[in-house]
Amino acid sequence: FAIKIYKDMVTLNIMDLILYEAQRQGRISFYMTNYGEEAYIGSAAGLDSQDMIFGQYREAGVLLYRGFTLDEFMNQCYSNEKDLGKGRQMPVHYGSKKLNFQTISSPLATQIPQASGAAYALKRANIKSCVMCYFGEGAASEGDFHAALNMAATMRCPPILEKTNLDFGCPQSRNNGFAISTPAMQQYRGDGIASRGIGYGIDTIRVDGNDVWAVYNATKTARQWAVEEHRPVLIEALTYRIGHHSTSDDSFAYRSKEEVEDWKRHDNPIVRFRKWLEDKVAVQNWWNEQEEQSYRTSIRKEIMSSFSKAEKTQKPSISDLFNDVYDRQTPNIIAQKQKLKKLIEKYPNNYPLKIFKNE
């Protein structure tokens, strides 16, 4: 169980490195890394597979833990014909009906009241599951955050809000120090986000967000309260974002490289967990340097194989752009489709149709 969690943390880290570099090379359009926050995979381990996830955009590790494949990650980032979202979303905006993971959307904090509503629906249906909602401290500065907490508290629905994680019954917020480029000290005067949960009458846990087992145990406890007692829970996981906010951001414009390097060196969640595993060597030899190097080599090959396949796979048919908006295409959508067709015919050199399926 511990090694599964650790391997997923390492896999996520290597996948982040490859896809970040791919974006810098112009091979995908956008990417967001999880550097420094990988311990949140402990929260995925603390949930049941039937619990519904509402993520923000840094929860790829939750999907990885639940079984989202490397091919599925790569297909989504390349928006190709095998992408579950049919190429209609930005990279890293994952979703999986099979894995009970609601598709991510970019607008900040919209998932929090949605999670509260979904948790209330579970309560009314008497389903013994909870909703987990992830969000950052920047989202906690939005009005949606307050509306969601108030609804969860008054309706006693089971979300867990993990400041970056709302599980009705158990919300979890990840405080990584920055809302894009705005440091936490410029966002609020109070003591973090935990005090807000208490103010709404919600059970609240503050935890070391770089400690896998602390995050895991906090989530297990929150889930029990949420499912068995219909008590919403707010978890504030304190961590630090090592990477830039996204590929559209240069974080060294608002923080020093020395600060980032200090965090990476002194409180790296992957290193902390690896050392914990290696401490078991006297008992059962859970992990060692040889296994570390072997796994890193093999998983990198697997990631690169999926990466190469996804890059060579065609894009969805352009015609699909007009499908699924309504049950039947409306007159205005048909008109838009015809207008695009004429535009492509007029400027064929600007539309490389060979990369699209059936065009």
Question: Mind telling me the catalytic residues?
Answer: 21, 106, 245-246
User: What is the length of the chain?
Assistant: 359
Cα–Cα distance list, 164 to 3, 53, 137, 266 (Å): 24, 11, 8, 23
Instruction: Please name which of 71, 117, 81, 154 lies closest in space to residue 358, comparing C-alpha atoms.
Output: 81
Indicate if the alpha-carbon torsion angle 261, 62, 176, 255 is positive or negative.
Answer: positive
Give the bridge partners for 167, in sequence order.
132, 170
Q: Where are the alpha helices (DSSP H) in the chain?
A: 2-24, 41-45, 60-66, 70-78, 111-124, 143-155, 194-199, 212-229, 257-266, 269-278, 289-312, 331-346
- Kindly state the tokens that stand for 229: 């007692």
> Does residue 133 contact residue 172 with C-beta atoms inside 8 Å?
yes
> Does residue 234 contact residue 161 with C-beta atoms inside 8 Å?
yes
